Structures are given as C-alpha cells and as structure tokens.
Amino acid sequence: MSQRDQLKKARARKRGKIAIILIGLIAIYVWAISGIEFRGIQETAGPVTKNILKGFISPDWSYVYSPDGEDLIRGLLETLAIAIAGIFLSIILAVPVGLWAAKNLSKSFITSQSGKGVLSFFRTLPDIILALLFIKVVGPGAFAGMLALGIGAMGMLGKLYAEEVEAMDPGPVESIAAVGGNKLQQLAFGVIPQVLPGFISATLYRFEINMRSAATLGLIGAGGVGTALIFAIQGRSWDRVGIILIGIVVVVLIVDLLSSALRKKIT
Amino acid sequence: MIDTKLNGPLPAKPSRWPFYLFLLGLFAIVLISAIYIGANPITFIQNSDNMVDLFVRMFPPAWSYIATTTPAMLETIRMALLGTTIGMIFSIPIMFLCARNIFRLRWLVELSRIGLNILRTIPDLLLAAIFAAILGFSPLAGIVALSIFSIGIIAKLSFEAIENIDNGPLESMTAVGANKLQWIAFGVVPQILPHFVSYVLYTFEINIRAAAILGLVGAGGIGVFYDRALGFFAYDQVLALILYTLVVVIIIDLISLKIREKLL
C-alpha cells in the first residue's frame, strides 16, 4: 500500500470517528429534549418578569435598615456570621483529616487512601442536603446552616490541605528528624511553616464559596438572608426581592475582592 | 571605612505581638459570629440523640425508592445537560467580549467583565427560586437557572484561557490580511477548543450536583423527593436518595474525566 492510500485511510477513519461522536451527541440531545415535560410558560411569566425588573430598578430601600425587626443588614450579617463560623468549624475538622489523607505523612498506603475516601464522601454531599438533615437535629435556624457548611466544606478543604502537604519539600522534616525532633516537633516546625500559606489560600477560596452557600441556606430554613428572599418571593414583593439580591451581590463581591487580594498577597 | 561588627549583639527578635493580636482578633470575629447565630455546642449535645435517631432510622436504606425516583433522576440529568448546553451557547460571545487580547475597546471589555463578575455572585439555588416564581414549578425553571449559572463558570474559565493563547498564529493572520471573524475562527478557536470543551464538561459535572437540589425550591429534578421524604421523616428514603445521587454523580464524573483526559 502506498503512503497516499494510508493517509487516505487514516483520514477516513478520523471522519468516521467524528461522525460517530456527532451521532451520539444528537441521540443524547434528542433523548434530553424529548424527555422534558414542557407544561407551557405560565401566563403570569410576562408581568412577573416585568415586575422583577421594575423591582431591580426601584428596589425597596426602606428594607435596608429598620430599627426594629427584620431587615437586610441583619440578614446579610447573619449570612456572613454563618459563613465565618462554618469555615472555622471546617478548618478544625479538615486539618486532622487532611494530614491523615496526605500520602507523604503516613507510612502505609491504606491510611492515606482511607482518609481520601472519607474526604470524597463528604465532598459529594451537597451543603443544602446536610442543612436539611441538621435542621432535623438542632431545629431550623442559622445554627443548622453553620453545621451544614462546617461539615460540607470539610471534604473540599481537607482535600486541598492534603494536596498542599503532598507538594511540600521533605528536606526540613528530615533535618528535624535527623537532629532528634519527635513527630510533633516535625509537624510544628517542618510541615506547618511550609504549608501555612497554601492552607490559608485554600481556606479563603472556600470562604468565598461559603458566602454563596450561606446566602442560599435560608431558602430551606437554615438561616441567613435567603429566608427573607424566599418570603419576599412568596409574597410577590418584587421590590424587596430586588434589594435583597442587590445586597447579596454587593456583599459577595466585596468578600471576593478582599479574599482574592489577600490570596495574591500570600502566595 | 565601614565598620562591620561581625560579633556585635544579635538584632532584636521582631516582636510577635502583632501576630498574636491578629490571631486574637480573628478568634474574636469567629466567636462573635458564633454567638450572633446562636451556635451553641450544648444545644448540639442535647440534641445528639436526635442525630443518633436520624442515623438509626436511615438504615437500612429504602432501596425500592430508587425505582420510584428514577424518572426524576433522569429529569435531573436532562436538566443539567440542557442547562449546560444553553449556557455554553451564550457564553461563547461573552467570553470573547471579556478577553483583553481579542477586543481593543477597553471600556467594552471591562464592562463585560464587571457584568460577568456580578452574574457569578448569584448562587444557583437563588436563581432557581426566582425562575420558579417566574416560570412556575417546572424543570424549565431549573434549566433556565442552570443556563445562567453555567454562563458564569464557562465564560470565566474560557476567557482566561483565551488570554493565555499563543500570539504567533494571530500575528501571522493579521499579516496576511485576515478580517476579525477569520482571525477568531482560525487563530483563536483551534487553540482554545480543547480547553473550552473541557470547561463545558467540568461545568456539566457541577450542574449535575446543582440540578439534584434545585427541586427543593420547586425547579424540577430529584430534589423534590428530598423534600417529600424529609417531610415524612422517612430517613431511609433520604439515605437511598443520597446514595443514588452519589452513584450517578460519580459515574458522570468518571465519564467526564475520561473525556477530559483525552482532550488535553
């Protein structure tokens, strides 16, 4: 067979492959679209959309602060408090599990793998489902939300911590061991100074996610500004929905900016 | 001559007080937050029998519930698929607008970026709650919410990829007189396509997880059943749902990871 024929054959094979991929994609989309129950758009969709947009343009500024009772500032502060207390809980939980899951700290493969298994199990549990379960344990409110975030963030933080530890330089630990440092001293003076910037950066990153998560917890009754939002939606007071969304966007943006500035400084 | 004191007194150790004060401040913030939300460890301990009860009642998981909820699970996958696809289509123009090396109009680029950043601050579940109010309690609300949510992720990751492309092909195309559209189609697209597809798949993984809970605010999918099972205190059904979702998520992650590895 000449080289030309071979090239032709290779091209035909490639085209065949692309065709198979395309047919597969089309089949998937046909399956997806045909399965969606389309019940038609509500008649109210138009007016409601108009009202929401109107709510954004002229939001209910009076809701921002009221001396007595529920207002936006208190809701946002509660959300912030849930995110802060939640991240603190997850740091406490994630440091030991992260060290447990780090390959280079444990002697046997099974130890680190079991730690990784625990972490990936917790990573797949959505914060909202955890919050629903904690509501059943401690009752509705911000405490349930904080516990959910604490446990939910542990999986991700632990994984990031473990990766940070695995990427560190073994030199300092070995030299501390060589001069007779015990395990605790190796950890305190060999491991922690090296991984601390990475740990802080990972924690800040997760804190940004916590803020968004904390804003949604209220939708299911676990405290924070989401509670006010779901009441406003149910009560069709769109100007209030507008101001709450604006408040969430502003606070999340500020937290993002501060956190990314800090992270840039650290690493 | 400069007086060098090799054996002079050691410089004073920098004071550690600022650091300790900083730690104390952080701790105070955490404590105030905890008090503000009424986080009381004693409540937790007092209610720990609730938790034990919850765990005990979770076992054995109600496996039969998996058959009941399979249509909803398929709906969840459909929602994630369509949401990701629509988001992908809309993020294509947005990601080019946000990339500094494509458009020379600075104000347009910066404005698009600010818009994208604002969009990215709104959590998926909030979007779903709002669209459920607009479009009614249906999967459609979930699809629209996921589409908007996907734009934020795909456009953000992709415009960063665009900004990191190799300038060589672009310069040679300009040199031979290509117009803007040709420039993008043959200079930019081939370079970012693998990254773009990879980001779309990654977003699909996130959307599967998101779609599984959208039902809690009435936006379709399997989340509706969480609400129902928890309402009836049927924790064995809840566990079955959690495990079912877990398996589906893991399978889709594996498939997506395999494709992404092949791409890059």
What pLDDT does B80 receive?
92
Q: Is the per-residue pLDDT at A145 higher than 60?
A: yes
**B51 closest CB neighbour out of A28, A77, A137:** A137
Q: How far is CA B223 from the centre of its chain?
A: 18
pLDDT band at residue A235 using 50, 70 and 90 as cut-offs: confident
The beta strands (E) that lie in chain B are given as none
Measured CA to CA, the distance from residue B227 to residue B221 in angstroms comes to: 11
Residues of A in contact with B78 (CB under 8 A): 31-33, 35-36
Q: Three-state SS for A54? A: helix
Q: What is the tally of structural domains in chain A?
A: 1
Contact status, residue B218 vs residue B132, Cβ threshold 8 Å: yes
B264 or A126, greater pLDDT: A126
Per-residue pLDDT tens over the stretch A240-258: 888 888 889 999 999 988 9
What pLDDT does A1 receive?
59
- In terms of C-beta density within 10 A (0-12 exposed, 13-18 middle, 19 or more buried), how is residue A202 classed? buried
What is the residue-wise DSSP string for B13-28? PPPSHHHHHHHHHHHH
Per-residue pLDDT tens over the stretch A49-97: 888 888 778 787 877 777 776 788 888 988 999 999 999 999 999 998 8
In Å, how far is A251's CA from the nearest CA of chain B?
Answer: 9
Range of the domain at A247: 62-266
Which of A25, A29, A37, A254 is the best mutation test for B, with the most CBs of B within 10 A? A37
| A20 inside domain | no
Q: Do A215 and B123 touch (CB under 8 A)?
A: yes
Lookup: tokens for A258:
């501060």
| A4 inside domain | no
CATH number where A106 lies: 1.10.3720.10
| A14 inside domain | no
Per-residue pLDDT tens over the stretch B54-78: 788 888 887 888 888 888 888 899 9
Q: Is the per-residue pLDDT at A264 higher than 90?
A: no
Q: Do A124 and B249 touch (CB under 8 A)?
A: yes
Residues of B in contact with A90 (CB under 8 A): none
Residues of A in contact with B41 (CB under 8 A): none
B126: left (phi > 0), else alpha (psi -120 to 50), else beta?
Answer: alpha
Residue of B nearest to A78 (CA): B37
Q: Do B37 and A124 touch (CB under 8 A)?
A: no
Q: Do B138 and A39 touch (CB under 8 A)?
A: yes
Q: Is the per-residue pLDDT at A200 higher than 70?
A: yes
- In terms of C-beta density within 10 A (0-12 exposed, 13-18 middle, 19 or more buried), how is residue A265 classed? exposed
Residues of A in contact with B74 (CB under 8 A): 35
Residues of A in contact with B124 (CB under 8 A): 216
* Domains assigned to chain B: 62-263 (1.10.3720.10)
Give the mean pLDDT of chain A: 86
What pLDDT does A39 receive?
66
What pLDDT does B256 receive?
87
Lookup: tokens for A95:
């440091």
Average pLDDT over residues A8-26: 87
Average pLDDT over residues A258-267: 86
What pLDDT does B3 receive?
59
What pLDDT does B43 receive?
78
| A121 inside domain | yes
What pLDDT does A204 receive?
92
Residues of B in contact with A236 (CB under 8 A): 133
Q: Do A138 and B246 touch (CB under 8 A)?
A: no
The beta strands (E) that lie in chain A are given as none
What pLDDT does B154 receive?
93
Q: Residues near A126 by Cβ (< 8 Å), separated by ≥ 6?
A: A152, B209, B212, B213
Task: Give the amino acid at A230.
Answer: I
Q: Do A39 and B130 touch (CB under 8 A)?
A: no
Share of chain A above pLDDT 70, in %: 97
Task: Annotate A254-266 with three-state secondary structure.
Answer: HHHHHHHHHHHHH
In which residue ranges of chain B is pLDDT below 50?
A: none
Measured CA to CA, the distance from residue A17 to residue A20 in angstroms comes to: 5
Q: Where are the alpha helices (DSSP H) in A181-236?
A: 183-185, 192-217, 225-234
Measured CA to CA, the distance from residue B66 to residue B62 in angstroms comes to: 8
Residue of B nearest to A255 (CA): B121
What pLDDT does A73 receive?
85
Q: A-B interface: how many C-beta pairs under 8 angstroms? A: 155
What pLDDT does B2 receive?
58
pTM: 0.83
What pLDDT does B45 receive?
81
Q: Do A35 and B125 touch (CB under 8 A)?
A: no
Measured CA to CA, the distance from residue B186 to residue B26 in angstroms comes to: 52
Residues of B in contact with A219 (CB under 8 A): 125-126, 129, 216-217
Share of chain A above pLDDT 90, in %: 18
User: C-alpha angle with apex B165: B163 to B169, nearest 5 degrees?
Assistant: 130
| A2 inside domain | no
